[in-house]
Amino acid sequence: MSRIGKNPVAIPAGVQAALAGQVLNISGAKGKLSLTISSDVSATIADGHITIAPKDDGKRARAMWGTTRALVNNMVTGVSAGFTRQLEINGVGYRAAVQGRNLQLQLGYSHDILYPIPENIQITCERPTLIAVSGADRQRVGQVAAEIRAYRGPEPYKGKGIKYAEETIRRKEGKKK
């Protein structure tokens, strides 16, 4: 049994939720998101809460119950508060800058990398070595942060590269004489 799925999702002030068939639309200050609800679960909106319930007692319905509730909760949180991922750049001469709708990265290659910033995603560089990726859709924010990190992942000997701010890199000892 899902323990997450039993809890209703509270709709905060300033957030509107509408259910049209199996499509749930949520809009708020940070944007609009929509989710097609699985046919194994049903959603209801009543007195400021969104409740998810399984349609039967099958294994897939129970699995989708908690998953759908978590997705709906992330949508409500995203349109009201938003999500942010922080990336740190370590290395001599490694830096980042936002130029229009592109993120310019200098990561020790012979050329600069231009990463086009997707729609509904904001990227800011407070310092040349700190990148903040923010937006309403949690999955898109994480995906964009992972794509930026993949250009030069952190290496274990000197710690050079792009890493998440909360990530710790396990360091290795170098060669011995």
How confident is the model at residue 39, as a pLDDT?
Answer: 87
Q: Classify residue 171 by its DSSP letter.
A: P
pLDDT in tens, 44-82: 888 889 998 888 888 888 888 888 999 999 999 999 988
Domains of the chain plus CATH, in order, are 9-80 (3.90.930.12), 83-164 (3.90.930.12)
Q: How far is CA 100 from CA 8, 111, 117, 135, in A?
A: 41, 19, 9, 17
User: Which one, of 71, 82, 75, lies nearest residue 135 by Cα?
Assistant: 82
How confident is the model at residue 31, as a pLDDT?
Answer: 86
User: DSSP labels for 137-150?
Assistant: -HHHHHHHHHHHHH
Q: Which residues contact 124 (CB under 8 A, 6 or more apart)?
A: 98, 131, 132, 134
How confident is the model at residue 2, as a pLDDT?
Answer: 57
Whole-angstrom distance, CA of residue 149 vs CA of residue 19: 36
In SS3 terms, 30-63 reads as: CEEEEEECCCCEEEEEECCEEEEEECCCCHHHHH
pTM of the model: 0.85
User: Which one, of 101, 103, 68, 72, lies nearest residue 89 by Cα?
Assistant: 103
How confident is the model at residue 145, as a pLDDT?
Answer: 93
Q: Is 24 helix (H, G, I), strand (E, B) or coil?
A: strand
Q: What is the average pLDDT score of the chain?
A: 89
Positive or negative CA dihedral for 68, 69, 74, 79? Answer: positive
Token output for 164? 């998440």
Q: Is 70 helix (H, G, I), strand (E, B) or coil?
A: helix
How confident is the model at residue 73, as a pLDDT?
Answer: 92
Whole-angstrom distance, CA of residue 112 vs CA of residue 109: 7
Enumerate residue ranges in the chain where pLDDT < 50. none
